[in-house]
Structure 1
Amino acid sequence: MTQRIPREGRGLLDARPLTVERGVSRHAEGSAQLRIGNTEVLATVSIDHKVPPHQRGKKEGWLMAEYSMLPRSTQDRIARERNLQNGRRHEIQRLLGRSFRTALDLKPFRNQTLVIDCDVLEADGGTRVASVLAGYAALYDLSERLVQTGVLIHSPILYPVGAVSVGLVDGEIRMDLDYSEDAGASADLNVVATLDGRLLEAQGGAEGTPMDPDVYIQLLRAGIVGAGQLLAEVQRQL
């Protein structure tokens, strides 16, 4: 019989407590620190006054994201990620980059590259979705600063983006998985969506045993709703 994984007193579709603070870095053009449950991420936005070769001569700028986990963000120390070919790291960076490029109008940043650095300070599941939420908060911080200082007339944010993890654990659909739930899930998805319920990205699938397509759709729908809820909470605190 499968041992049931506890939910710390929250409902199956309830997220962990979330707190976010923007403007936490004195040096970065935009920044935010976000905590959801026991997962904590620091996100900063830097403006680099050049673009990659494929973007030269175009009317809009570029955006790229980097992701890393600090050595003691987990129970056991992990080595610093000096190997740039780390597959998981690149997979998460592509997720972050695609999400933020969709969310932002890059025309005001012609000949510039926005670099979003997401560093996991403490990990207990959901680090990539926490990075999406923290990265959005940092972009919001950047946008507010540029508007307030007169650099931009209006915010370049087109679509506020949220994210959440959902999974099938003990035959139940659960939202915002912590590490123990994620490790015991028979299927899981990381869902990135807009506040009005439009999908940007869904990343994940079954773990070992194929799942019915209807279950995938249920997970996806729960994730879209949950991503919107977490985004609304981030916006409330910004």
Structure 2
Amino acid sequence: MTAPKTPIREGRDLLTPRPLSVKRAVNPHASGSAHLKMGRTEILATITLEDKPAPHMRGSKEGWLTAEYAMLPRSTADRQARERNLQNGRRHEIQRLLGRALRSSMDLKFFRNQTLYVDCDVLVADGGTRVASILAGHAALHDFCDHLINTGKLSDWPILHNVGAISVGLVGDEVRVDLDYLEDKVARADLNVVATDSGLLIEVQGGAETGPISMQEYSQLLTTGVSAVQGVMKDMARQLAAVH
């Protein structure tokens, strides 16, 4: 069997993520919002604060954060049908990942008896939509919290950790950061690494695709992923600070 061709990257080396750009306060109706581009992948994230506790948080001293994820019909080459009632397994899995990642970033004691909704909509998909959604969600939460501080609704910054994510994979024998769609299709293994800008690990999702990999390869993927998240978060912090 002929081995799959190794995709050639345009304008970046194997350990460099795709170009990142983020703009916040892009939706005037949302409590916080951000538009994020990572290569050709584009995400719109919005924040809604509801003065109602999640059912399982009634009586708790903390609020709750939940996330929703959707791909717009023409975010891909073929039209994605809108989901009306039942959600597919992939979407449900991604929503749970987003919720866990973004909850870990927040001090929810500031939102007692309230629920934060983070809605992430994929405008254009070219691989890495779940990690890009975590980044967009974090940027939208930053915008939301900045507004609360500037309007005097909060005196303390409620974001405990700056949380980001990146994909990392083995394409042939090469470790590559931030796989696009063509690379993801032929990767021997790929991980989605969620971590903080200080290098603390939150979650790892993924594994081997075409056969087992060694512990050394897995460790290399993980270490590379955490380091790449730190670099991406440094770039994001610079862009968020430049927007007022």
The alignment's TM-score, normalised by the length of structure 2, stands at 0.96
Q: Distance in 2 between matches of 1:122 and 1:143?
A: 27
Q: Distance in 1 between matches of 2:133 and 2:108?
A: 20
1:57 correspondence with 2:59: yes
Q: Distance in 2 between matches of 1:172 and 1:103?
A: 32
How many residue pairs align between the two structures? 238
Contact 2:6/2:183 (<8 A) preserved: no
Q: Which amino acid aligns with 1:27?
A: H
Q: In the alignment, what sits opposite 2:46?
A: 44
Unaligned runs of 5+ in 2: none
Q: In the alignment, what sits opposite 1:32?
A: 34
Unaligned runs of 5+ in 1: none
Q: Which amino acid aligns with 2:11?
A: G
Q: In the alignment, what sits opposite 1:137?
A: 139
**SS at structure 2 position matched to 1:46:** strand
Q: Distance in 1 between matches of 2:60 and 2:4?
A: 55
**Cα-to-partner distance string for 1:109-164 (whole Å, 9 max, x where unaligned):** 00000000000000000000000000000000000000000000021000001110
Q: In the alignment, what sits opposite 2:17?
A: 15
Q: What is the alpha-carbon root mean square deviation over aligned residues? A: 0.9
1:98 correspondence with 2:100: yes
Deviates more, 1:132-141 or 1:210-219: 210-219
1:195 correspondence with 2:200: no
Contact 2:36/2:42 (<8 A) preserved: yes
Q: Distance in 2 between matches of 1:165 and 1:208?
A: 17
Contact 2:4/2:186 (<8 A) preserved: no
Matches within 5 A, 1:59-208: 59-208=61-210
Q: Distance in 1 between matches of 2:153 and 2:101?
A: 24
Structure 1 runs (4+) deviating above 4 angstroms are none
1:171: how far off?
1.3
Contact 2:191/2:204 (<8 A) preserved: yes
**Cα-to-partner distance string for 1:26-68 (whole Å, 9 max, x where unaligned):** 0000000000100000000000111122100000100000000
1:83: how far off?
4.4
